[in-house]
Amino acid sequence: MTTMMQEMIDWIEDHLFDDFSLKSLGNDMGYSPYYCSFKFHQMAGISIKRYRALRKIFLASIELENTDHRTIDLAFKYGFLSQETFSRAFKNTFGISPNAFRKNPQPLQSYVKLNMNGIKESFMMDISQKLKIESLQNIMNEQFDQGILNILNGRIMYEEFQIHQLMGKSDYVPFNEAMCSNDTCFTIFSDEFNKLRSAGHEVSLKDYENITINSLKPLFEKQYKCIVLWFGEDMFCQMNLLTMLAYLEQEEYKGKVFFNMINEKTYDVEEIEVIPEGFKEIYQQVLIQHQLPQAQVLPVMYQGINLYLEYLKDENEITAYIKKHLDKSHKDLLKNLFHLFPNYGLGDVQYLKMIKIIEE
């Protein structure tokens, strides 16, 4: 069945710019159109229509950034009836218009072709990416004379950077949190915040402080000219990034802030300077009030927020997938969830909690 699924994905990709027809897909696959649609949704956790839409709008974003093709020509190429419908779909996905994005390209969450042929069990860092990270770090050191704090998303990234000695002489700390889960409060890292977060994670306040707060001591105790935030593109990372930017605004940090969006599989990096203004209100609207923010945010954060609000629903694409596959062992189900929903960036703790609730 996995082979058949991959053949469907390959067929869809080969006909991405054609007038799509379930009947044509079914004829070439040797199954009924209904069966193809049903099996795709069952195994991928997303409809064919939604998959094609996400792939096309993502590929269009690449062309907007890297070519001078007219927006209207891209709209027609990617199957939109007009420039207006393309612009509306682009803004609904990324929170920014195509023209604004072209004038000022910003990090986006990628949506790559699905691969049902398994997951690599290990990954060796590409030496070219290691050199790129070191080059970025050297530029920072020259500019700020090593008065830099690098904040990394979680223990795994921290240890990877530590093993490869990527930060040179600069300070670096992990932000060991999962802000996409559990309650939070207005004043970040206050006593109330720590108590709420520890209760949500079902650990003692002392353990929470040891794991999360103590790891950030340099942030609290030293004055830095520059803070570099190393976070991934997925929803999990973006909610952590939002919290950290809101904290810097809360503390009225006056130094330079850079967001280095890092692909945690390839270690490719995209860098952008960020001014920590307006993020505290966005943090409150999103993580406390559970609403879309009123202000414009980075496209990748906008995508993360949309996924976060989807994740909060009792019925969402992840829970729908779990309900259809409760016959699988937790190990196999987790493997599939990691593979099919990488844009959420959830860990086994979050997934197991969802599985447990559904099983009950």
313: DSSP letter = S
Please tell me the predicted confidence (pLDDT) of residue 119: 46
C-alpha distance from residue 94 to each of 27, 207, 224, 241, 269 (Å): 35, 38, 32, 17, 19
Q: What is d(CA 181, CA 240) in angstroms, rounded to the nearest whole number?
A: 10
Q: Which residues pair with 149 in a beta bridge?
A: 171, 227
H or E element at residue 151: strand 148-152
What tokens were used for 121?
A: 């069990």
- The string over 324-335, giving b where at least 16 C-beta atoms fall within 10 Å of a residue's C-beta and e elsewhere, is ebeeeeeeebbe
Cα gap 211→83, rounded to integer Å: 50
Low-confidence ranges of the chain (pLDDT < 70): 1, 118-132, 145-146
Instruction: Read off the pLDDT of residues 5-54 as tens digits, 9 standing for 90 and up.
Output: 899 999 999 999 888 889 999 999 999 999 999 989 988 888 999 999 99
Question: What pLDDT is stored for residue 351 in this prediction?
Answer: 95
Instruction: Give the 3-state secondary structure of 238-294.
Output: HHHHHHHHHHHHHCCCCCEEEEEEECCCCCCEEEEECCCCCHHHHHHHHHHCCCCCC
At residue 109, the 3 state secondary structure works out as coil
What is residue 132's predicted lDDT score, i.e. its pLDDT? 67
Q: Contact, 359 vs 326, CB < 8 A? A: yes
Q: Residue 17: what pLDDT?
A: 86
CA angle in degrees (0–180, nearest 5) for 172-158-220: 40
From CA 334, how far away is CA 340, in angstroms rounded?
A: 10
Q: Is the pTM of this model over 0.85?
A: yes
The per-residue pLDDT for 263 is 80
Res 122: pLDDT: 41
Phi, psi torsion values for 201, nearest 5 degrees: -85, -5
> Which pLDDT value is given to residue 159?
87
* Residue 84 tokens, joined: 């207006």
Q: Are strands 269-273 and 256-262 parallel, antiparallel or unpaired?
A: antiparallel
SS3 per residue for 38-88: HHHHHHHCCCHHHHHHHHHHHHHHHHHHHCCCCHHHHHHHCCCCCHHHHHH
Angle at 6 between CA 269 and CA 47, to 5 degrees: 80
> How far, in Å, CA of 249 to CA of 1, rounded?
51
What is 2-103's CATH superfamily? Homeodomain-like (1.10.10.60)
* Residues 320/287, Cβ–Cβ less than 8 Å: no
Question: Look-up: residue for tokens 């007038």?
Answer: 19
**Long-range CB pairs of 133-141, under 8 A, 24+ apart, other chains included:** 133/166, 133/267, 133/269, 134/166, 134/168, 136/260, 136/269, 136/271, 137/166, 137/167, 137/168, 137/170, 138/168, 140/170, 140/226, 140/228, 140/258, 141/168, 141/169, 141/170
- Residue 120's pLDDT is what? 44
d(CA 111, CA 343): 8
State CA 8 to chain mean position distance.
Answer: 26
For residue 87, what are its two tokens?
């612009």
- Which residues pair with residue 313 across a beta bridge? none
